[in-house]
A and B are shown apart, each in its own frame.
Chain A
Amino acid sequence: MRRLLRKRPALGMALLSGTATAVGIAISLAIDWFPDAASTASKDIDNLWDVLLIASVPVFVLVMSVALYSVFAWKVKPGDTSDGAPIHGHTKLEVVWVTIPFVMVTALALYGWVVLDDIEAKEKDPLIVNVTAQQFAWSFEYPALDKVKSNQLVLPKDRRVELRVKTKDVIHSFWVPEFRLKTDTVPGLTTKVRVTPNRLGRYDVVCAELCGIGHATMRQAVRVVPPGEFQGWVSERKQRAGDGGVAAAGGDTAVAGKTLFADTGCTACHTLADAGSEASAGPPLDDLTKDAAKFGKREGQSAEEYVKTAIEQPEAFVVPGFTKGTMPDNYKKNLSSAEISTLVKYLSDVSGKETK
């Protein structure tokens, strides 16, 4: 190789760069870049990404090869006073390196445009979900399904969904990494995301735009379920029935409560050792029994009544040191009474406990 480089530098370099390009492309494609793909858009975007990698590696290898080759070939010792070749330019070469990048980026832009049209395509009769963001929680409403409300986004698999996203306060950003889709929530506007989930599972809605101190922890559950199960879930919500997720947790209230606590987004604002959350927008719930004893007594409430009131009417009493209006007051509407009971029971049980 060394001899080849010295004797036929152009050929040697081309061989080296070709190998490096092939290896680079192989490695970059082998890397598992993305989270699970859970929507039809994911596949399109992941393919586009692969094309971008294939186009990028040769460019980078070319730059590196020329730079490294020049250094190795024409490095001089300190004190050497010779000059390089007085080459001022080369018109043909310059035309080439204007044209090729131009063609490349134009092609990529067109491809990007096609993918964009694809993933945002309108389809007939989508399932419409109204999404509302506020500091620091998401809530969801299904207008065509009796205005069912929820704190988790539950979606049927393989159905086109149109999410209409609004905010009550500042800008947030609705993002489900597994769907690869995102839109900011803008005060005064309704923005849209169209998505067709195609993989069953539980994912997170992540807030992607800085929205205040609870931003990092502002996440709630998205569940993609089979259409049949979705219908069941909807009718359960309609009757505001159900058992608060206890059966799904195998009858274990503690597990059901912990799941509900995370999926509802309580973890965005409250520290609770048992749930592993460390957020500080709202009072730490590890002190809940203490707080209930201290503040609940004034109203003549039992500890459990105090917790229930705190969820259903957060304005009724604000723990000193925290601001009134921080906690959304829509949990009574969004959660079923069984869910609230599950939460109250869970919180009363685990408060003050150290994590196992």
Chain B
Amino acid sequence: MTLATKLRGPGWYRAAISQPIAFLFAFGLVALVRSLYGWDPVVDWEAITTVALITMPLGFIVGIGCFDYWFRWAAGAPTVPEDHSGHGATKWQDYFKVNTDHKVIGIQYIVTTFIFFVIGGLTAMLIRAELAQPGTQFVDPNTYNGLFSVHASLMIFLFIIPVFAGIANFVIPLMIGAPDMAFPRLNALSFWMLPTAGVMMVASFFVEGGAFATGWTAYAPLSTEMPVGQQFFTLGVQFAGASSIATGLNFLVTIITMRAPGMTFWRMPLLVWANFTTSLLVVIATPFIAGSQFFVLLDRSLGTHFFDAGGGGDVLLYQHVFWFYSHPAVYIMMLPGFGIISEVISTHARKPVFGYRMMAFSLVAIVILGFTVWAHHMFVSGMSDWLRVPMMITTLLIAVPTGIKVFSWLATLWRGAIHLTTPMLFALGFITMFTLGGISGIMLGIIPVVIHVSDTYFIVAHIHYVLFGGSVFTIFAGIYHWFPKMTGRMYDESLGKVHFWLSFIFFNLTFGPMHFVGVDGMPRRVADYADEFATMNAFISVSSFFFGLSFLVFLYNMITSWRNGPKAAANPWRAHSIEWQVSSPPPIFNFDEIPTVVGGPYEYGVPGAVHAVFKEEGAPAKATPAPAGGGGAPPPGE
């Protein structure tokens, strides 16, 4: 291939060329408009940066080739017949191209998000280093504020939310017996928007004035006044959000329309239910954070007054719109984990999920209630007083569906045949840690308590119990559980256990004490603190470094097992769901023949029960009588 064809065709060469072009376009546009208006200076770097933050990521995505097919189609050019050359991976280089295979995209998602997890973790280590002693040691307050802002933004927008999308991308189509996602090209676009968002957020450290330093919450009017680094958050979130929305839509359509014959809603594995409900949240809620950040962008760049009280703006508006997304986002970061835990516990305890239908209903209940509680983040914000009590009640009521889930998992363990594998250990760790996070969540729902502890380290402790002890433990459980399916190799079980125990212990030693310093009066988001908290903070910092190191065990295990681990069988866990009925890793088009679903997904211990069979359509499928409690309704027409 000549260089010229390389530059014309989709890929990294064209993406690289697109960057200077996109930058020059931004430069030219700003200079042109400013000179037409007669503004001084014509070359305004903040304005150029802002426009470039839109054109350069778009240029990259176009350059890498996400839009080629659609552009040709829209222009009326003859479309390239689909030869499936961009589907599936045969060599490692294929993972660096636009690919439409959901399994490749799943791996791309997971690896990319774990890279940002590492970067986010390193910022956490710097934060703890600075906090090891009172006073200023390593970083100045501005850099410190940037560190925790980037830490939270990466962990939320570039790790937890998308890694769940990655796991689901790999697993869901297999689980429902579909050959791929409903919109494979959209799926590829969703993925490629993600690294651009992450690179933007990290890049903000290198601009004048430092990284965005307003927290991941970016409250206006602070965010409308901070230096240009703030734009990297404002616009980065747009790309991560667009990626999320497109994926959510894709999951909804896939799950609604592409289930295998016989896969009724009441026969879907709970991970599918979890991603279905999560996708509803994503599609409904995410536009609100996009809106809130666009308002900030307009206030900053075009001088509008959305959040300028002096100009008729409303400061609390920002918080209402922001939390109308960001509270449901908590469930976007938790429901897929609930799904993973149901799969893991049922499979590794060899028992049907207890109360399957209530498990699905409780997901739906959380979705609905999740939209009615946002203002509990604003109990001391100065919003209308009367709104607080109703929001307190709805907040506490979420404990009911969440409680159903926890109790049902426990009942699933009861009288099981429990295999203490690494995924199971993480699932058990999750249940206990999430219960603690849930309990502190109840406390935080009660207004008089939160008046004292809001914006303290108690909040930091709570969110890490929910998001690390909760979400990240489920992510680890899921990664270990599906590692054999994704890579075709087994991970090292002993190293997995070492990883679990190290992270479980040091997680608690790191975040447990934060409850105490918070209630005792230490505010969060501070580079410096009163001397009375010095001992506790030194202890937390030391624990956090060991906690950070524990991740290396995981990394080592994953990398070496992926390269040299023993070959995995198709179904090492003897699971019933469909993804385990194909080879590990699965064939490029998933199924040679589409499976027919004949029973519930978790019929462990039911003699002769199967979830799905691979038979030509029309052949009588062997159905198991529906057991009490749901999960195995006979297919319609039988």
Q: Is B428 touching A89 in the complex (CB atoms < 8 A)?
A: no
The yes or no answer to A254 lying at the interface (CB within 8 A) is: no
The yes or no answer to B196 lying at the interface (CB within 8 A) is: no
Q: Which of A35, A181, A187, A216 contacts B527 (CB 8 A)?
A: A216
Q: Is A74 touching B604 in the complex (CB atoms < 8 A)?
A: no
A331 to chain B, nearest CB (A): 22
Q: Contacts A88-B354, A214-B141, A216-B141 known; A63 to B382 CB distance under 8 Å?
A: no
The yes or no answer to B42 lying at the interface (CB within 8 A) is: no
A343 to chain B, nearest CB (A): 22
Q: Is B221 touching A63 in the complex (CB atoms < 8 A)?
A: no
Complex: how many Å from CA A184 to CA B136?
26
B141 to chain A, nearest CB (A): 4
B393 to chain A, nearest CB (A): 5
Count chain A residues whose beta carbon lies closer than 8 angstroms to a beta carbon of B. Answer: 85
Complex: how many Å from CA A119 to CA B349?
49
The yes or no answer to A7 lying at the interface (CB within 8 A) is: no
Complex: how many Å from CA A49 to CA B413?
32
Q: Write out the residue numbers on chain B whose beta carbons fall within 8 Å of the beta carbon of A60.
A: 435-436, 439
Q: Write out the residue numbers on chain B whose beta carbons fall within 8 Å of the beta carbon of A214.
A: 141
Q: Is B415 touching A84 in the complex (CB atoms < 8 A)?
A: yes
Q: Is A180 touching B630 in the complex (CB atoms < 8 A)?
A: no
The yes or no answer to A288 lying at the interface (CB within 8 A) is: no
Q: Which of A56, A71, A88, A204 contacts B629 (CB 8 A)?
A: A88
Q: Write out the residue numbers on chain B whose beta carbons fall within 8 Å of the beta carbon of A80.
A: 417, 419
Contact with A along B515-527 (1 / 0, CB 8 A): 0100111010111
| Stretch of A104-112, A137-145, A312-320 on the interface side | A104-112
Q: Which of B222, B356, B382 contacts A88 (CB 8 A)?
A: B356
The yes or no answer to A121 lying at the interface (CB within 8 A) is: no
Q: Write out the residue numbers on chain B whose beta carbons fall within 8 Å of the beta carbon of A87.
A: 351-352, 354, 411, 414-415, 629
Contact with A along B406-419 (1 / 0, CB 8 A): 11101101111111
Count chain B residues whose beta carbon lies closer than 8 angstroms to a beta carbon of A. Answer: 95
Most buried by B among A33, A44, A105: A105
Q: Write out the residue numbers on chain B whose beta carbons fall within 8 Å of the beta carbon of A48.
A: 446, 448-449
Q: Is A81 touching B449 in the complex (CB atoms < 8 A)?
A: no
Complex: how many Å from CA A169 to CA B357?
52
- Looking across the interface, which residue of chain A has its beta carbon closest to that of B526? A216
The yes or no answer to B587 lying at the interface (CB within 8 A) is: no
- Looking across the interface, which residue of chain B has its beta carbon closest to that of A185? B382
Q: Is B414 touching A70 in the complex (CB atoms < 8 A)?
A: yes
- Looking across the interface, which residue of chain B has its beta carbon closest to that of A78? B419
Q: Contacts A116-B447, A213-B142 known; A101 to B403 CB distance under 8 Å?
A: yes
Complex: how many Å from CA A59 to CA B410?
13
| Stretch of A125-133, A146-154, A171-179, A241-249 on the interface side | A171-179
Q: Contacts A85-B351, A210-B525, A278-B136 known; A74 to B442 CB distance under 8 Å?
A: no
Complex: how many Å from CA A71 to CA B349?
9
With A66-B413, A75-B420, A93-B411 known, 17 other A-B pairs at CB within 8 A are A52-B443, A70-B410, A74-B413, A80-B417, A83-B351, A87-B351, A94-B355, A94-B358, A109-B392, A112-B446, A170-B219, A171-B219, A177-B521, A181-B452, A188-B314, A211-B222, A213-B141
- List the 3 closest pairs (A to B, CB-CB), nearest first: A188-B309, A88-B629, A89-B629
Binding site for B on A (CB under 8 A): 31, 33-35, 41, 44-45, 48-49, 52, 56, 59-60, 63-64, 66-67, 70-71, 74-76, 78, 80-90, 93-94, 97-98, 101-102, 104-106, 108-109, 112-113, 115-116, 119, 169-171, 173, 175, 177-178, 180-189, 191, 204, 206-217, 278-281
Show 28 residue pairs from A and B whose CB-CB distance is below 8 angstroms, ordered by the A residue.
A41-B448, A48-B446, A56-B443, A60-B435, A63-B435, A67-B413, A75-B419, A83-B351, A87-B411, A88-B627, A88-B629, A89-B628, A89-B629, A94-B404, A116-B388, A169-B221, A170-B222, A171-B222, A180-B448, A184-B382, A187-B221, A188-B309, A188-B314, A206-B521, A208-B523, A210-B215, A212-B213, A215-B141
